[in-house]
Structure 1
Amino acid sequence: MSQTRELALDILLDIDKKKNLSHLVLSDTLRNYQFMEKKDRAFLTRLCQGTLENQIQIDYIIDQFSKVKIHKCKPVIRAILRMGVYQLKFMNQVPDSAVCNEAVKLAKKRGFRNLTGFVNGVLRNIARNLDQVIYPDQEKEPVRYLSVWYSMPEWLVKEFLSEYDKTTVEKMLESFLEVKETSIRAQLTNGTMEELRRSLEAQQVVVGKGAFMKEAFRISGYNYLEDLDAFCEGKFQVQDESSMLVAQLADPKEGMLVIDVCSAPGGKSLHMADRLKGTGRVIARDLTEYKAELIQENVNRLKCTNVKVQVADARILDEELIGKADIVIADLPCSGLGIMGRKRDIKYNATKDGILELSKLQKQILSVVIQYLKPNGILMYSTCTIRKEENIENVQWMSKNLDMELVGFEELMPDQLTVETAEEGYIQLLPGVHPCDGFFIAKLRRKSNAGY
């Protein structure tokens, strides 16, 4: 466990000091330490993810018991204190004495012997008085309360409350903090659902049904994804059910040409290829060689012969594709506010100006990629966020300026999922309200008389 806490400290410092993405840093570490026992990998994952997603509340607690405010602490001491408070408050199976002792050891090992008394004193004080923490009043300071209790920046709480009622906002914030199972989609051209289930269960994976997609499973209890036979054999792809809806609602027919303009890591392209049953063609594009390689790795693993991977900037028109596509998938760069439960540092890095810039980028890309559609061709516009500027307002802009019209898809919705606006041609899925990530999908048709 000492080594595991050291690794956790390195991960948190990497994220704090270098601003690297948490899910990538953690996955790289787990890949490099495959020899670790399953329980240690689970402890490392929970400690890192939990410390990050509860950081605002953790800092609030520390500041009540420390003379030196958390943001004035040295990065190493700050990370050690945050890890310690997370274990004290959220990991009841770890004895308080062990938390404090291990924190002191870490401080010594990292060259801060002169601060071990400070670390020990703060953590032991918190351990004794956790039930005495004074939180903001729910009635007098509702925004401050929601921010601290659910570790969400105040400006984002205000933004959510400007669009959704308080009950809905609290459901979303609570959902972001819940432990998530891994959602996977069966690649049905490579085997049946039952074959996939049997393969996973033979390796002691806990397999449950998806919430609403027929080709989905929710899995847990595995150690390392790439050790699973079914993964190596291309029998499934990790993909949230909200993302799977894109191919279902597009309703592709065999032989069609589909262009996915921002494809990495390729989930929607691969799902389309599966729905096309190996016919037609899917062009999966992204901006960089690195992202294209991610797509290609999945294409190769899933043995998709009807997918072509290309490096391309979606902002630049490819004249060779004008008027050629039956379906264009535009899952565009966005703030990612709908998936903060999986990518825990999004909420700390998002800004108002950043969201506005992304909305402009989305419009820029959309004005280009709709030109690839045949008359009456279908555009599937999606984002993994819950803000109107990036979602319905872009749809309204397309309808007004780009000769596109919404297409209702109520009859294509899964039986277990009801969203009233499906009949109008768009849906906004909300974490905590719907059993999936926060996600927006709109289906639009290029008018037959449109000229670009």
Structure 2
Amino acid sequence: MAGKINERRIAYDILSEMGKSESYKKSVIKLALDKYDYLEAKQKSFIKYLAGGVIERQITLDYIIGCFSKTPIKKMAKPILYILRMGVYQIMYMDAVPDSAAVNESVKLTQQLHFMGLKGFVNGVLRNVSRKKDKIQWPDPGESVESRISYLSVKYSQPEWIASMFLSEFGFKKTTEIFSFFLKTRPITVRFSSRFSSEELRSILAKMKKANNGNIEMRPSTLLHYAMDLSHTDNIRYLPGFEEGAFMVQDISSMLVTEIADLKKGETVIDVCAAPGGKSLHAADVLGGTGKVISRDISENKCILIRDNVKRMGYTNVTVEEHDASKHDETLENMADVLYCDLPCSGLGVIGRKPDIKMNTDLRSVMNLQQTQRKILNNVWNYVKPGGILIYSTCTLTTMENEDNYKWILENLPFTAVDISDRLPGKMKETETAKKGYIRIIPGEFGTDGFFIAKFKRNE
């Protein structure tokens, strides 16, 4: 049955489904792979790589198509545009696929979708791309801001507003480094649970090494002893130890929230925007079954996701509750020893993990998010006990969502910044702002996602 599956058609269906909405649905690829979970690992990898790659490189792909098509992108039928994007992606970025196969399979797909009259068009465009791919005239970065924005946008497939923002924030060289990191294929990072003994973990790791026909690669983190990078995992749910709750997928930058919090046994932690629960469960793990973690999010679906992870990981000191963080809850006043405020943000630090983010936001949305973040902070700050800790974090890089909010908290709420340099691993300790109570982690700088974490103590 699996042999009859057309992987390219599945990838096309994913792109078509995502195209039905003005905003990209990041779950579409996952849902499709779950539906076809019976396929061989190689087939699922092809589908994920092709569909995900087209999403990630869309701006670049459209530029290339525009170089070889007399019909403007905006005037193309959507199905034909999706087919061309897939074809160009295979030609430009999938070395294992011969150009001839990329062209021929695209023409076949055009026929299957009943666009018989456009087979020649698809064939002509893709054959031209194949023949002249080494002669494509890319934008010249030049010296002007405008030319550099155009170059960064096309070269690294980033919307011009993001290219402009990063160029202004980080300069040309650093922006190219960040954008290059976003496009790299990266391993999955997992955090191992302390509930398991060293002997039990050794047994699980030995079994994991044999997973995916022995092709899995495992590399311990150089920053945190309980973290590990995994490559070639196929479906991580099927790895030994997953169902038993031995580990949870979580990036190092996210784990640093609990490292910086410096939790003590018996403390109460409140996580106001917790889904999917990584930070809440990390806190529960550090507390070692003592104290209490109140893990909240705005919808029942998000709470179900947290509960599923709590159940799988086997923590008994976590309570999951549905609640809108922008609405004050007087029952939590002065309850938290530590308050996690990992608030809704633009997510520009994790584009490498979630490329749909760059298609789902704009500068106006970022400005609105700052107001949302401050509204939530205004409504939750007094959940912290006098002398307690507030951790503010985001997975983005914008100054208005990070440093500006750090200053806003100090100016408007009864908190004092806390030196975090002693809680940071490796060379992160040397970050200049750590003594001021915050760190902005640049994507790729330490091999992690982009993140911002600030620590405050409520005044007595």
- TM-score range (shorter-chain normalised) is over 0.9
Question: In the TM superposition, what whole-angstrom CA distance separates every residue of 1:209-247 from its partner, at most 9, and x where no partner exists?
Answer: 124121110001222111122111000000000000000
**Letter of the 2:250 counterpart:** Q
Structure 1 distance, partners of 2:367, 2:433, is 25
**Greater Cα shift, 297-306 or 196-205:** 196-205
**Greater Cα shift, 137-146 or 57-66:** 137-146
Structure 1 distance, partners of 2:250, 2:197, is 17
Secondary structure in structure 2 of the residue aligned to 1:268: helix
**Aligned to 1:179, which of 181, 185, 190?**
185
**Greater Cα shift, 187-196 or 319-328:** 187-196
Secondary structure in structure 2 of the residue aligned to 1:390: coil
Equivalent in the alignment of 1:25: 28
Kindly state the Cα deviation for residue 403 of structure 1 after the two structures are TM-superposed: 1.4
Structure 1 residue 423 and structure 2 residue 435: aligned? yes
Write out aligned runs for 1:98-177 (5 A): 98-140=101-143, 141-177=147-183
**Letter of the 2:142 counterpart:** E
Structure 1 residue 4 and structure 2 residue 7: aligned? yes
**Is the 2:350–2:396 Cα contact (8 Å) retained in structure 1?**
yes
Residues paired across the two proteins, number: 448
Kindly state the Cα deviation for residue 433 of structure 1 after the two structures are TM-superposed: 2.1
**Aligned to 1:289, which of 286, 300, 309?**
300
Equivalent in the alignment of 2:425: 414
Unpaired runs of at least 5, structure 2: none
Kindly state the Cα deviation for residue 20 of structure 1 after the two structures are TM-superposed: 5.8
Structure 1 residue 223 and structure 2 residue 234: aligned? yes
Kindly state the Cα deviation for residue 432 of structure 1 after the two structures are TM-superposed: 2.5
Structure 1 residue 356 and structure 2 residue 367: aligned? yes
Kindly state the Cα deviation for residue 195 of structure 1 after the two structures are TM-superposed: 4.2
Q: Report the CA distance shift for 1:276/1:421 in structure 2 as closer, same or farther (over 3 A).
A: same
**Is the 2:24–2:360 Cα contact (8 Å) retained in structure 1?**
no
Equivalent in the alignment of 2:397: 386
Structure 1 residue 439 and structure 2 residue 447: aligned? no
**Is the 1:325–1:372 Cα contact (8 Å) retained in structure 2?**
yes
**Aligned to 2:274, which of 254, 263, 266?**
263
**Is the 1:190–1:302 Cα contact (8 Å) retained in structure 2?**
no
**Is the 1:22–1:344 Cα contact (8 Å) retained in structure 2?**
no
**Aligned to 1:212, which of 217, 223, 235?**
223
**Letter of the 1:338 counterpart:** G
**Aligned to 1:201, which of 190, 203, 209?**
209
**Greater Cα shift, 10-19 or 433-442:** 10-19
**Greater Cα shift, 137-146 or 73-82:** 137-146
Structure 2 distance, partners of 1:307, 1:199, is 29
**Is the 1:286–1:311 Cα contact (8 Å) retained in structure 2?**
yes
Question: In the TM superposition, what whole-angstrom CA distance separates every residue of 1:31-71 from its partner, at most 9, and x where no partner exists?
Answer: 11111111111111111111111111111110010011222
Kindly state the Cα deviation for residue 108 of structure 1 after the two structures are TM-superposed: 1.0
CA RMSD of aligned residues (A): 1.3
Kindly state the Cα deviation for residue 368 of structure 1 after the two structures are TM-superposed: 1.2
**Is the 1:288–1:312 Cα contact (8 Å) retained in structure 2?**
yes
**Letter of the 2:186 counterpart:** K
Structure 1 residue 397 and structure 2 residue 414: aligned? no
Secondary structure in structure 1 of the residue aligned to 2:209: helix
**Is the 2:152–2:158 Cα contact (8 Å) retained in structure 1?**
yes
Question: In the TM superposition, what whole-angstrom CA distance separates every residue of 1:98-121 from its partner, at most 9, and x where no partner exists?
Answer: 111110111111121111111111
Unpaired runs of at least 5, structure 1: none
Q: Report the CA distance shift for 1:251/1:298 in structure 2 as closer, same or farther (over 3 A).
A: same
Structure 1 residue 345 and structure 2 residue 356: aligned? yes
Structure 1 distance, partners of 2:157, 2:290, is 47
**Is the 2:251–2:448 Cα contact (8 Å) retained in structure 1?**
yes
Question: In the TM superposition, what whole-angstrom CA distance separates every residue of 1:319-371 from its partner, at most 9, and x where no partner exists?
Answer: 11101110000000000000111111111221111001100000000111111
Question: In the TM superposition, what whole-angstrom CA distance separates every residue of 1:250-304 from its partner, at most 9, and x where no partner exists?
Answer: 0000000000000000000000000000100000000000000000000000000
**Is the 2:24–2:359 Cα contact (8 Å) retained in structure 1?**
no
**Is the 1:335–1:355 Cα contact (8 Å) retained in structure 2?**
yes
Secondary structure in structure 1 of the residue aligned to 2:428: coil
Equivalent in the alignment of 1:46: 49
**Aligned to 1:71, which of 70, 74, 93?**
74
